[in-house]
Amino acid sequence: MEQVASARSAAGPRHLHARPVAIALALAFGIAAAVPASAAGQALAGQAGQAALAEQAEQAKQAERAKQAAPAARPWLDAALPADRRAALALAAMTQEEKLSWVLGHFGSDFANKTKRHPAALPYSAGYIAGVPRLGLPALFETDAGLGVATQAGPTPRGRTSLPSGLATTATWNPALAYQGGAMIGSEARASGFNVMLAGGVNLQREPRNGRNFEYAGEDPLLAGSMVAAQIKGIQSNHLIATMKHFAVNAQETGRFVLDARIDDTSNRMSDLLAFQFVLEQANPGSVMCSYNRLNGVYACENDYLLNGVLKKDWGFKGYVMSDWGAVHSTVEAAKAGLDQQSGWEFDKSQYFGGALEEAVANGHVPQARLDDMVYRILWAMFDKGVVENPVAEGGAIDFAANRLVSQADAEEGMVLLKNANSTLPLKSGARKIVVIGAHADVGVLAGGGSSLVYPVEGNPVPGIEPLTWPGPVVYHPSSPLKAIQARAPGAQVIYHDGLDPVAAAKAAEGADAVIVFAQQWVGEALDAVSLALPDNQDALVAAVAKANPKTVVVLETSGPVLMPWLDQSAAVLQAWYAGSGGGEAIARILFGEVNPSGHLPATFPASASQLPRPVLDGDPKNEKVRFAVDYHEGAAVGYKWFDLKGHKPLFPFGHGLSYTTFAYSDLKSGQQDGKLQLRFKVTNTGAVAGKDVPQVYVAPLGMKWEAPKRLAAFEKVDLAPGASREVTVTIDPRLLALYDSRSKTWRIAAGSYKVLLAHDAADAGARTITVKLPKQVLNVNGKPLK
Ligand code: BGC
Q: How far is the CA of 142 from the centre of ligand 1 (A)?
A: 11
Q: How do residues 505-525 score in pLDDT, each as one tens digit?
A: 999 999 999 999 999 999 999
Active-site residue, from 324, 348, 644, 693: 324
Check pLDDT > 50 for residue 150: yes
End-to-end, the C-alpha distance of the chain in Å comes to 64
Mean pLDDT of the chain: 92
For residue 220, give the nearest of 597, 713, 769 by alpha carbon. Answer: 713
The model's pLDDT over 248-276, given as tens digits with 9 standing for 90+, comes to 999 999 999 999 999 999 999 999 999 99
* Shortest-distance Cα residue to atom 7 of ligand 1: 325
Per-residue pLDDT, averaged over 681-696, amounts to 98
Atom number, ligand 1, closest to the C-alpha of residue 7? 7
Instruction: Tell me the chain's radius of gyration from C-alpha atoms.
Output: 26
Give the β-pairing of 433-437 and 416-420: unpaired
Q: Is the pTM value of this prediction over 0.85?
A: yes
What is the reported pLDDT for 515? 98
Ligand 1 mutation pick, 256, 324, 341, max ligand atoms within 8 A of CB: 324
Mutation probe of ligand 1 site: the residue of 25, 125, 143, 144 with most atoms within 8 A of C-beta: 144
Q: What is the DSSP letter of 302?
A: G
Is 324 a known active-site residue? yes
Residues near 68 by beta carbon (within 8 Å), at least 6 away in sequence = none
Separation of CA 153 and ligand 1 centre (Å): 13
**pLDDT band, very low/low/confident/very high, at 635 (cuts 50, 70, 90):** very high
Q: Give the mean model confidence (pLDDT) for residues 31-47.
A: 36
Report the SS3 class of residue 15.
strand
User: Which residues have C-beta atoms less than 6 Å from ligand 1?
Assistant: 7, 126, 144-145, 198, 245, 324-325, 451
Helices within 253-328 (DSSP H only) = 265-269, 272-283, 304
Which among 216, 325, 470, 525 is the best mutation to test ligand 1's pocket, defined by most ligand atoms within 8 Å of the CB? 325
Q: What is the pLDDT of residue 112?
A: 82
743-758 confidence digits (pLDDT tens): 999 999 999 999 999 9
Can you say how many angstroms the Cα of residue 371 is from the centroid of all Cα atoms in its chain? 31
For residue 450, give the ligand 1 atom closest to its CA.
7
Asked whether residue 33 carries a pLDDT value surpassing 90, the answer given is no
Supply the residue whose CA is at minimum distance from atom 11 of ligand 1: 325
Q: Choose between 628 and 49: higher pLDDT.
A: 628
Q: Identify the residue whose C-alpha is closest to ligand 1 atom 2.
A: 324
Residue 34, pLDDT > 70, answer no
Residue 492 pLDDT exceeds 70: yes
The string of pLDDT tens digits covering residues 456-481 is: 999 999 999 999 999 999 999 999 99
Task: Give me the pLDDT at residue 614, please.
Answer: 98
Q: What pLDDT is stored for residue 69 in this prediction?
A: 54
Average pLDDT over residues 575-582: 98
Closest C-alpha to ligand 1, atom 6? 325
- For 308-334, what is each residue's pLDDT tens digit? 999 999 999 999 999 999 999 999 999
**What letter does residue 454 receive in the DSSP assignment?**
P
In which order are the strands placed within the sheet that holds 777-779?
A: 739-741, 746-749, 777-779
